[in-house]
Structure 1
């Protein structure tokens, strides 16, 4: 892809930071959306709660990437925090989709974050992008989140949804909490360990986002997960092997439920999610296996 101008919301988050680094390293001009007065030419002000974005700053952007949203696992799910999680995604998506739709020269692509939480608890049943949404808070949120991009879609902007799995990274996300525990020899399975965890290496996640930005024929939902999901017990064992630490400890389900409340359902629930559309589109994973992904996060 030739050098492009790309706007990124959520540029300071785990995935956003890595994506911006990758894009700038390859010579692309990245415009970061910020919720304060811009301090440099590569920043554009926006306020999703007010439905505002400086559309002038988006002028000439070939792509708009929205990765913004309050952290799912940052704190216990009180009713108030669930509203924060929901509104941060819906308002941000609607604001950017509407801006993209009204620009004199709309972007070629609007790439919006989503999550594998769309499918809910699938048990041992493997699902791909053809599966319907599940039940519960996260599936309902994901349905609304993706629907909020309608203005861009209706304006003819190619719109892509990245349904993200558990990102294997040294800091941030689920693995940002797991690595210190396992390195200290305190790691172990959660619940009975039989629930599927659909993971993806941070490197592969960024590569998949760039693949989706560049591929003019691709639109709609794409699962960003490794080709072969594993159970929590299998991932626990792999963490022990790679980090050369025992994995004797386990966290019983009742303890997780007491500590995490409703959010425990995401840790104990099983999501066997396959990246069918990515694979069919020709994307190649650099770190498809869990041990490879763990080592890549440590390098």
Structure 2
């Protein structure tokens, strides 16, 4: 049995490496909708392994329990084979990942070869789970079981979230399309990324027309719905199309894999390739755009210690600086066609839904905020709302050109950044990691974490741009408030529902009576009497007949389960339900049940009733 336990230990370590390195870091599966099926199989396999590790580590299963363990392993084989098929259908596996999967399969086969005869002998014994102690292997198997169980929960949340409960992102967080007398047309590349997503939403809300270049058209359409035009190739844009401005943010994430030669080339090509396509588009357009706002980063300046840096600062001969320099040089070619070019050198972009902050805040929330080395290097940062506002400002102001630092006016040292984050989260900061360890682990990429630049937004401020979040603590507190759970409140709500649906009518009527009794501001509008009430959000009558929508006092619209949470938070009797529905695992599961079960059932039921209880449900 000792040999089986050794091979199980090897299997667990290889599997953990595969999950962390391939699935999380390189392939980023939990963020890809097309990986949802593969993640569902991973979730199943991880729950199976959790049981296998616990049973083998703590018990000698006999009789029917031994047969049960054999059955678990048989299911694991089926899941693994199925996973091989799904992987080949949905993505191109890196060579090393394919090799590792093969080694894992071979090792699992060796485990079966040694374990199955033992288990078969145990099936002949009376049914029981006999406690055993395998020395050090027993706690090791326990650690593996807990780890793989937690990873299964993590993947399960990703499966639910990627499914979105069947509801596209633009319907979960509806976008109110603004109106302008003469709307501009703005082309945005990298629009499905963290910064690009925020930018596109703001442009749409301000009334601009937006064209989105996206490799993943399905993701882009889920994010922006009917509000934005999505193209998968710039060659699809006709020569006579009028485009007023281009914002080029496309580029592979810098943080992730070590900067090997191949990785550096991929980082360069992801930026230079799209920028070249943008220049080709500009060249053939009959009417040139007025400006190109191009991405860059403060890595352009290299590692400069305590030297204050404005846009006139020089570069250095290191990879990060070269990456930014070459990207800017490629963008400047658009000047040959009479286009104004601005290169925004961004710092650490802070947002609750992307960028570096979630990764920094997660360990800090557990009191594990990390100071790198002495923490005396500078971190130049910017709130994502300020960065979006700056990009729009550059589009609007034709007198600004060249490099523009996209950082807040008050950079901080890294140790102060972590301490302020800890203060905002009300958590201690005590953990330090020596620079040498970071360099050993990450190579040259460690410079992102151990070196910095004191960058100042001199040009932006000289041209009159005002930062809404100039100080770090204010920015972090605002972001924490944005992410905060909905609490019991008295804020006015407007509910849009289908009065013709009997169940919906009774449910909303019940909430309305409770709100009136508690003197809570809840207005309920029948979509059949107000069919174009939410047309500005791209929502038609049938969208609202299918699911509930709630508009809060700040003009934010929420759909599905999020709308119920707002109602429950308003009515004292349901405050506990509002809290429960926002819990990490409960919220996505509730969304899945509502969108995949309740919505289709209610819709089908109302259609069957036709003109009796629900006479308008069939109107298109």
Q: Please tell me the TM-score bracket, short chain as reference.
A: over 0.9
TM-superposition CA deviations, 1:79-126 (whole Å, max 9, x none):
211111111111111210221132101111111101111000010011
Does the alignment pair 1:278 with 2:460?
Answer: yes
Tell whether the 8 Å contact from 1:202 to 1:297 is kept in structure 2 after alignment. no
2:393 to 211, 220, 233: 211
1:254 to 436, 456, 464: 436
Matches within 5 A, 1:114-125: 114-125=296-307
* CA distance in structure 2 between the partners assigned to 1:290 and 1:263 by the alignment: 25
Matches within 5 A, 1:99-138: 99-138=281-320
2:207 to 27, 41, 47: 27
* CA distance in structure 1 between the partners assigned to 2:429 and 2:235 by the alignment: 48
Does the alignment pair 1:264 with 2:451?
Answer: no
Which residue in the other structure is 1:44 paired with? 231
Which residue in the other structure is 2:192 paired with? 12
* CA distance in structure 1 between the partners assigned to 2:283 and 2:458 by the alignment: 29
Greater relative contact order structure (CA < 8 Å, 6+ sep):
1
Higher strand proportion: 1
Distance 1:292 1:285, change over 3 A: same
Q: Which residues of structure 2 form unaligned runs of 5+?
A: 1-179, 483-620
* CA distance in structure 2 between the partners assigned to 1:277 and 1:223 by the alignment: 7
Distance 1:199 1:189, change over 3 A: same
Shift of 1:37: 6.4
TM-score by length of structure 2 reads 0.46
TM-superposition CA deviations, 1:250-285 (whole Å, max 9, x none):
221122112222110111112111110001010000
The structure having more radius of gyration, on CA atoms, is 2
* CA distance in structure 2 between the partners assigned to 1:101 and 1:150 by the alignment: 13
Tell whether the 8 Å contact from 1:44 to 1:57 is kept in structure 2 after alignment. no
Tell whether the 8 Å contact from 2:239 to 2:286 is kept in structure 1 after alignment. no
Which residue in the other structure is 2:587 paired with? none
Tell whether the 8 Å contact from 2:240 to 2:286 is kept in structure 1 after alignment. no
TM-superposition CA deviations, 1:221-249 (whole Å, max 9, x none):
10000111110011111011111011111
* CA distance in structure 2 between the partners assigned to 1:244 and 1:156 by the alignment: 52
Matches within 5 A, 1:92-103: 92-103=274-285
Higher helix proportion: 2
TM-superposition CA deviations, 1:119-168 (whole Å, max 9, x none):
00010011110111122001111111111123311111111101111001
- Structure 1 residue matching 2:431: 3-state secondary structure: coil
1:84 to 266, 273, 282: 266
Shift of 1:17: 0.4
**Which segment is superposed worse, 8-17 or 91-100?**
91-100
- Structure 2 residue matching 1:56: 3-state secondary structure: coil
Instruction: Report the aligned-residue RMSD.
Output: 1.8
Which residue in the other structure is 1:292 paired with? 474
Distance 1:57 1:200, change over 3 A: farther
Tell whether the 8 Å contact from 1:98 to 1:152 is kept in structure 2 after alignment. no
* CA distance in structure 2 between the partners assigned to 1:167 and 1:269 by the alignment: 17
